[in-house]
Amino acid sequence: METCKVAVVGGGLAGLYTAQALNASGVDVVLLEARERLGGRILTADETGLPAEDGFDLGPSWYWPLMQPAMATLVGELGLAAFGQNSEGAVVFERMSREKPQRYLPAALDQQSMRLAGGTAAAICALAGKLPAERVRLGTMVTAMDLAENGVRLTLKTGDESAEVLHAELVVAALPPRLLEATLTFAPPQEPATAARWRNTPTWMAPHAKFFAIYDKPFWRTDGLSGTAQSMVGPLVEIHDATTASGKAALFGFLGVGADQRATLGEQVLKQACLAQLARLFGPEALEPRATLLKDWAADSLTATAADRAGGGHPVPGNPRWVSGPWESRLLLAASETSESEPGYLAGAVIAAKRAVAEIRSKMDRE
């Protein structure tokens, strides 16, 4: 049986931060990720939809340095380049289907949204580079955790459907609580109140879908538009300039169509409706993109559960005690949703990961 001091389940921002920080402290750590890539809900893709080092953020894209110093500090520590979300030009507002969209010049922003050059996956790549490759297991899903006398036995399922067992003294679950509750079995079971809390915690990004239209040039800017738009008509309800730091031009928007309706309509119909809306808002050039991308996170089984299809609110800060009963000494949660501040944001993932690392170091100091 393979063994380690700490097993980190989930290779998104929180899991990677946790694993590399523990590794830097000399802790024997193994990172387990069900996907064949790292990043989790962070996915930077090229115009074909494949992961890329310089592309478009199909998941989270922004952070706010003054309001989220944890993320700003991480960007600085990793030596990453950042740039401001384009806000120069007018904002378009679409109130009714029978009214022409209106343009407004917004007031100056006090807190500008920032993006990473190369995409948010730049942070993932930088953190992954701090881990020994042999301690990262991709395509490895944890299906069960059993408490043992001196740790936790994790049942792993790999791509060939074979089952393996890993023994860890401590486990950090860096995946959303709702997904953890839905996809893993525990022996003994989690206490009912704990399981209910996990199940009732909304998963950030899980209900949403993002549409991208990629162009040869940002034509809206020459027309005096920022690329920002809000619509009460749809199908996109919020639209922004997604042009990369390297100059790849794009617009993106969040769909206001629910997950079940998206599945019924199908990707092609949705894309056509989105392009028609962009043409209403930004002009006929919007009908001729180089490529389009649609990422429906509700259809991603490694992000969303059936409960996420109905939507729901943003995760909110709460009691920091996410594990109770016999599991409390062996299992820690570190997903962004579990953060005591900025839950459901990139900064929340960093804060939650730092908390888990501090708890583990404290446990080891007491041993």
The 8 Å CB, 24+ separation contacts for 301-305 are 302/34, 302/35, 302/40, 302/179, 303/40, 303/41, 303/176, 303/179, 303/203, 303/205, 303/206, 304/179, 304/203, 304/206, 304/207, 304/259, 305/178, 305/179, 305/182, 305/183, 305/203, 305/206
Domain end position, chosen among 299, 321, 337: 299
- What are the counts of helices (DSSP H) followed by strands (DSSP E) for the chain? 9, 19
In this prediction the pTM is 0.95
Q: How many domains are contained in the chain?
A: 2
Is there a domain that residue 304 lies in? no
Give CA–CA dist 216/248, Å, rounded.
7
Query: Does 307 map to a domain?
Result: no
| Confidence at 109, pLDDT banded by 50, 70, 90 | low
Element (H, E) at 84: strand 82-84
**32: its two tokens:** 């387990």
Look over the chain and give the mean of its residue pLDDT values, rounded to a whole number.
95
Are 182 and 326 in the same domain?
A: yes
Same-domain check for residues 223 and 261:
yes
Domain boundary, last residue among 276, 299, 322:
299
- Same domain for 359 and 318, yes or no, is yes
Shared-domain flag, residues 240 and 354: no
Q: Let me know if residue 165 belongs to a domain.
A: yes
Residues 163 and 262 in one domain: no
Cα angle, residue 130 at apex, residues 69 and 335 outer, rounded to 5°: 50
Residue 123 has pLDDT above 70, yes or no: yes
User: For residue 32, what is the domain's CATH number?
Assistant: 3.50.50.60
Q: What is the pLDDT of residue 318?
A: 82
- Together in a domain, 77 and 18: no
Domain co-membership, 12 together with 104: no
- Residue range(s) defining the domain that contains residue 136: 2-42+123-204+313-366
- Say if residue 163's pLDDT is above 90: no
Residue 15 lies in a domain: yes
Residue 306 lies in a domain: no
pLDDT at 24 over 80: yes
Q: Is the pLDDT of residue 107 over 80?
A: no
Residues 148 and 186 in one domain: yes
> How confident is the model at residue 69, as a pLDDT?
96
pLDDT in tens, 183-193: 999 999 999 99
For range 348-354, the mean pLDDT: 98
316 versus 28: the higher-pLDDT residue is 28
Per-residue pLDDT of 331-347, as tens digits, reads: 999 999 999 999 999 99
pLDDT band, residue 96 (cuts 50/70/90): very high
Is residue 161 over pLDDT 80? Answer: no
Say which CATH number the domain at 254 has. Answer: 3.90.660.10
Do 270 and 221 share a structural domain? yes
> Does 279 reside within a domain?
yes
Checking if the pLDDT of 110 tops 70, the result is: no
| 48 and 65 co-located in one domain | yes
Inter-residue contact 128 to 138 (CB < 8 Å): no
Pick from 108-112, 149-153, 248-252, 258-262: least confident? 108-112
pLDDT band at 111 (very low <50, low <70, confident <90, very high): low
Which of 255, 275, 299 is the endpoint of a domain?
Answer: 299
Report strand pairing: 29-32 vs 136-137.
parallel
Which of 7, 6, 11, 12 lies closest to 348 in space, CA to CA?
A: 12
In this predicted model, what pLDDT tens digit does every residue of 181-233 receive, in sequence order? 999 999 999 999 999 999 999 999 999 999 999 999 999 999 999 999 999 99
pLDDT tens-digit series, residues 34-69? 999 999 999 999 999 999 999 999 999 999 999 999
Q: Quote the percentage of the chain above a pLDDT of 90.
A: 91
Task: Read off the pLDDT of residues 277-300 as tens digits, 9 standing for 90 and up.
Answer: 999 999 999 999 999 999 999 999
What integer pLDDT is reported at residue 182 of this predicted model? 97
Q: Are 106 and 128 in the same domain?
A: no
pLDDT score at 186: 98
144 lies in the same domain as 34:
yes
Is a pLDDT exceeding 80 seen at residue 102? yes
Torsion from C-alpha of 183, 185, 186, 190, nearest 10 degrees: 60
256 inside domain: yes
The amino acid present at 96, given as its one-letter code, is M
Q: Is residue 305 part of a domain?
A: no
306 falls in which pLDDT band (50, 70, 90)? very high
| Count of C-beta atoms within a 10 Å radius of residue 106 | 11
